[in-house]
Amino acid sequence: MTIREFKMPDVGEGLTEAEILKWYVQPGDTVTDGQVVCEVETAKAAVELPIPFDGVVHALLFEEGTTVDVGQVIISVQTEDGAAAEAPVQEAAPAVAAAVPAPVATEPEEPAAAARQPVLVGYGVSTASTKRRPRKAAVGAPAQNGTAPAAPAAPAAPVLPAVPAQPTGERPLAKPPVRKLAKDLGIDLSSVVPTGDGGVVTREDVHAAAAAAIAPQAAPAEVPVAAPAAAQAVQAAEVPASARETRIPVKGVRKVSAQAMVGSAFTAPHVTEFITLDVTRTMKLIQELKDDPDLAGLRVNPLLLIAKAVLVAIRRNPDVNASWDEAAQEIVLKHYVNLGIAAATPRGLIVPNIKDAHTKTLGELSTALSELVATARDGKTSPADMQNGTLTITNVGVFGVDTGTPILNPGESAILAIGAIKLQPWVHKGKVKPRQVTTLALSFDHRLIDGELGSRFLADIAAVLEHPRRLITWA
């Protein structure tokens, strides 16, 4: 028998340490190649670590809550002597799964949304590089040494490519986090058609199979939101009744989010403009679309049409979709839109985004929003899902407030805050009538967007929402 050591792997992005959040195994437990043994939190995200060999747990070298440097041994495993020839321990792959028990805030207030909980805009994290070590000759799950790939939004009606199915009797090729995702979604990997290199099943393949088998996930407003990190930490600690102060360590995603907020606020010159508008016609259209058999099974809500209005306005004002390259002193115009949707989680504020949102039909955008919510609710929002956003939407209306002045997600050009939609007296056709009214606030980087461009962009969004037929005439 041989004692093998599993070290805290380098999860990329220049990170040098991670905190052990939870052990999934104990001494004496049997583990297999690719099995997740613990969850750790880096400054970027929560990460599940699969072990790269078979054996019996000999010892856990650190307790939960301990911060460990990269390269330190965290667990030892007793293996058969023949297992020593396997790949080095350092090649173990952290399956990135940012823990997001709380869903995203994706729709402004509706009269019936009594269960909706408030969330605010957050800041995304960088994705680590993806690299996979060669698969062993024996049939089994390949161990990885990179993060899980991003989970692109599944199309409304997924079309499976013409790739040969997995050979009968052979274990399908898939990374450990993909296997876990399939298990959580109830998907048999042997029935999934792989699209990855070498016949590997990807997260996208699993999501496509799930979308084809089940209806879209529940609406964001129907999912409870966990308390913010600080509040949860206070609740978890036993605070004496006589205590006058409680100190909460700032670390992990929350620490990076705070740094990003400060960096954004004091680096990008923010300008915020506001517009109050009548969205009665949009609210009526939402109800009509809900009754449309062509959209049966899809989630139709205010955010869906607001997101579509933003995409139409970007098409009319393409210069707003840009970023500032400080090193090169260049403005980088983006010919794609990765639309961010703000979310609050117990570990901090994040902004997962819908990749290439500009290419999606209304139905595809609805599916993408539903999947974004389901992924967040299941705690599987990866750093890649929050990388390379171009513009963000955040809903402050869930608090019942009219508007806010949001801070830019770093690297993006603008962020749109949606206020509460309320019945208010409004002059309509020369008479004061009760109408559905909301206020939009647009914060933008004045290095990229001047007052004229920002005003036109915000006015176009409002114009579409006031007269939603422009979704067609301006498209």
Burial class (CB in 10 A: 0-12, 13-18, 19+), 349: buried
**DSSP 8-state code for residue 202:** P
Per-residue pLDDT, 390: 95
Cα distances (Å, whole numbers) of residue 82 to 48, 77, 90, 105, 350: 27, 14, 19, 52, 45
Most confident of 7-21, 144-158, 286-300: 286-300
Residue 250 burial class via C-beta count within 10 angstroms: exposed 0-12, middle 13-18, buried 19 and up: middle
Q: Which two tokens stand for residue 30?
A: 């049997």
Could you give phi then psi for residue 289, rounded to 5 degrees? Answer: -65, -35
Strand partners, 391: 339, 414
Higher local confidence (pLDDT), 80 or 255: 80
Angle at 188 between CA 46 and CA 90, to 5 degrees: 40
**Domains of the chain with bracketed CATH:** 1-92 (2.40.50.100), 252-473 (3.30.559.10)
Whole-model pTM: value is 0.58
Closest CA to 97 of 365, 352, 369, 341: 352
pLDDT in tens, 132-174: 434 433 333 333 443 444 444 444 433 333 434 454 456 788 7
Rounded to whole angstroms, the Cα distance separating 13 from 24 reads: 25
CB 298 within 8 A of CB 450: no
User: Reduced to 3 DSSP states, what percent helix, strand and coil does the chain have, rounded to the nearest 5?
Assistant: 30, 25, 45
The pLDDT score that the predictor gives to residue 397 is 86
Alpha-carbon span 61 to 172, nearest angstrom: 33
Distance CA 342, CA 118 (A): 11
Sign, CA dihedral 25-136-167-214, equals positive
Mean of the pLDDT values across residues 23-34?
93
Neighbour tally for 435: CB within 10 Å: 18
Q: How far is the C-alpha of 111 from the C-alpha of 423, rounded, in Å?
A: 9
Mean pLDDT of the chain: 76
* 307/418 Cα distance (integer angstroms): 11
* Known catalytic membership, residue 446: yes
CA dihedral 290, 291, 293, 298 (to 10 degrees): 20
Given a cut of 80, whether residue 203 has pLDDT beyond it is: no
Q: Which member of 58, 335, 358, 446 is catalytic?
A: 446
Tens of pLDDT, residue by residue over 406-459, are: 999 888 999 999 999 999 999 999 999 999 999 999 999 999 999 999 999 999
Distance CA 174, CA 140 (A): 9
pLDDT at 224 exceeding the cut of 80: no
Sign, CA torsion 395/401/404/406: negative
Higher local confidence (pLDDT), 347 or 412? 412
Least trusted range by pLDDT, from 75-89, 91-105, 317-331: 91-105
Degrees to nearest 5, angle at CA 275 with 272 and 279: 140
Please report the pLDDT score of residue 102 as a whole number: 35
Of 362, 421, 372, 378, which Cα lies nearest the Cα of 392? 372
